[in-house]
Amino acid sequence: MKNILNFLIEVGKLKRMPRKGWVLRGIKNPETIAAHTFRMAIMSWLLGKEKKLNINKVIKMSLIHDLCEVYAGDTTPYDNKFFSKNKKQWREITKKWPRFSKKEKEKNFQRKYKKENKALKKLLLNLPPALKGEIRNLWIDYEKGSTKEGKFVHQLDRVENLLQALEYWKKDKQFAIKPWWIQIEELVDDPILLKFMKALDKNFHKKETKEKIKDKTCGTSQRSRKNL
Amino acid sequence: MTKQKKFYLTKEGLEKIKKEYKDLRDLKFLKTKGEMPKIWHSEDLNPEYLSFQEDLSFLETRIAELEYIFKNSELIKTPSKEKQNIINLGAQVIVGVDDQTDEFEIVGTLEANPAIGKISNESPVGKILLGHKVGDEVVVSSPIMTIYKIKKIKYNIS
């Protein structure tokens, strides 16, 4: 039991670790890694059920997908060639989705995989073998998208990011939302998640356009009344 | 699985799936005999160990799923020379986007991994690139407009 307790104490650190992507964009009180995991687990349950996936597996996979970040930290696509020590430049840099050559992508992918794999091994070291094996296999499946559940949760991770980004954008229109949509249009191909993205578009963008039109209409009618 | 779906695979992708199928069939045999498989210490996913913890019905579901894939799979082949100037499955494409350059390979959903540049032909961007030539500008506009300018197309299918 002591080993499980130690593991849980380490995992608890994720409740206090802000997500780097939001820090780079200057978000105040940014969402933590654990908070992202929480909503992702709920999403994998609700949306995975619609897709008739193994719910037990997708929820577990969502819960463990970022555990390695206890030691590896949060990685963003801006970390390699775009990263600047000058905090003032961070917000500017993150306005564009970073692009890489095929070679660079493979190198970045391998580097991240190695770092996170090492961190996960360290975190799981003293867990009972069956649990250790299950968590490692779920993580590898998630990272490589080997099964339909792994593929689904991998894409879902980005969709949850998009939802959070839209919530930040709704509060502050200076927040650059374009890179979030760009990456997701290249990454997601799951029909249920594409349907969910349409719902996000309708809720955050089209609703906003409607509200603006409504405001303008109200303005016009008020002016019209004044004229009368 | 009522609607027939086509799975486009490279030769390498098909071989990988065939291996998983064989492993799962072997595991099902062991499981029905009540034998425990050894825990692998491989860096790769260990479907044997993973599946062993699941109910037999899940194992059978995955086997059925793979059989469905075999039945509906189609190998991605290099198009004829005169069609190699058009983006199709298996194409490696260099695009200009937002003043930057990016490189994609268009693959079927089972082999897609955007982190290494392999994008699915069923993703909004993968889908819209298909059928275009060098010099074309492709617009993805839902909900924010992005223009992909096609700079180079090549095929390197084994």
> Token pair of A102, please?
């095929």
Q: Which of B49, B123, B141 to mutate to test binding with chain A, by most A CBs within 10 Å of its CB? A: B123
Q: At A90, is the pLDDT very low, low, confident or very high (cuts 50, 70, 90)? A: confident
Residue A219 has pLDDT above 90, yes or no: no
Is the pLDDT at A58 greater than 80? The verdict is yes
Q: Is residue A21's pLDDT more than 70?
A: yes
Rounded-to-integer distance, Cα A199 and Cα A43, Å: 14
How high does pLDDT run on average in chain B?
84
Q: Contact B103/A147, CB-based, under 8 Å?
A: no
B143 and A181 within 8 Å at the Cβ level: the answer is yes
Left, alpha or beta for B112 (phi > 0: left; psi -120 to 50: alpha)? beta
Nearest CA in chain B to A180: B144
- The CA distances from residue A109 to A81, A121, A195, B70, in Å, are 14, 18, 28, 29
Higher pLDDT, A91 or B7: B7
- Decide if pLDDT at A81 tops 90: no
Q: Is A222 a residue whose pLDDT tops 60?
A: no
**pLDDT tens figures, A126-167:** 999 888 888 998 999 899 888 889 999 999 999 999 999 999
For residue A216, what are the contacts with CB-CB under 8 A and spacing of at least 6? none
Asked if residue B95 lies in contact with residue B101, where contact means CB atoms within 8 angstroms, the answer is yes
Whole-number pLDDT of residue A226:
32
pLDDT at B65: 85
Q: What angle do CA A200, A201, A205 make, to 5 degrees?
A: 120
A105: containing domain: 2-227
- Report whether pLDDT(A220) > 80: no
User: Is the ipTM, as predicted for this complex, more than 0.90?
Assistant: no
Residue A201: partners with Cβ closer than 8 Å, 6 or more residues away: B142, B143
Residue B48 pLDDT exceeds 60: no
Which residues does B contribute to its contact with A (CB < 8 Å)? 39, 43-47, 49-50, 53-54, 58, 62, 65, 92, 97-98, 100-105, 109, 112-117, 119-126, 140, 142-144, 146
pLDDT by residue (tens digit) across B75-110? 999 888 888 999 999 999 999 998 899 999 999 999
pLDDT computed for residue A225 by the predictor: 33
pLDDT of residue A207: 65
| Residue A149 · residue A57 · CB < 8 Å | yes
What pLDDT score was predicted for residue A224? 33
**With b meaning 16 or more CB within 10 Å and e meaning fewer, what string describes A97-116?**
bbbbebeebeebbeebbeeb
* A171, two tokens: 């509060």
Q: pLDDT band for A34, please (50, 70, 90 cuts).
A: very high
The closest CB to that of B123, out of A133, A148, A186, belongs to: A186
Query: How many other C-beta atoms lie within 10 A of the C-beta of residue A8?
Result: 9
- Stretch A39-60: mean pLDDT, rounded? 94
Nearest-by-Cβ selection for A105 from B46, B92, B117: B117
Nearest C-alpha in A relative to B107:
A189
Higher pLDDT, B155 or A80: B155
pLDDT tens string A43-53: 999 999 988 89
What is A190-214 written as a DSSP string?
A: -HHHHHHHHHHIIIIIIHHHHHHHH
Query: In Å, how far is A75's CA from the nearest CA of chain B?
Result: 13
- Tell me the C-alpha distance between A119 and A84, whole Å: 25
> Are A185 and B123 spatial neighbours (Cβ–Cβ below 8 Å)?
yes
pLDDT one-digit tens code per residue, B117-132: 999 999 999 999 999 9
For residue B6, give every residue at least 6 positions away whose Cβ sits within 8 Å of its Cβ, in sequence order, or none: B72, B73, B74
Question: Which residues have C-beta within 8 Å of that of residue B9, sequence separation ≥ 6?
Answer: B17, B73, B74, B75, B76, B108, B110, B111
Chain B residues close to A140, C-beta within 8 Å: 43-46
The pTM of this model reads 0.85
- Sketch out chain B's domains with CATH numbers: 7-75 (1.10.287), 81-155 (3.10.50.30)
* Chain B hits for A108, Cβ within 8 Å: 115
User: What CATH number has the domain bearing residue A66?
Assistant: 1.10.3210.10
Closest partner residue to B112 (CB to CB) among A57, A181, A189 is A189
Interface probe, candidates B45, B52, B151, chain A, greatest A C-beta count within 10 A: B45
Tell me how many domains chain A contains: 1
Residue A82 structure tokens: 């775009």
- Residue at A84: amino acid letter: S
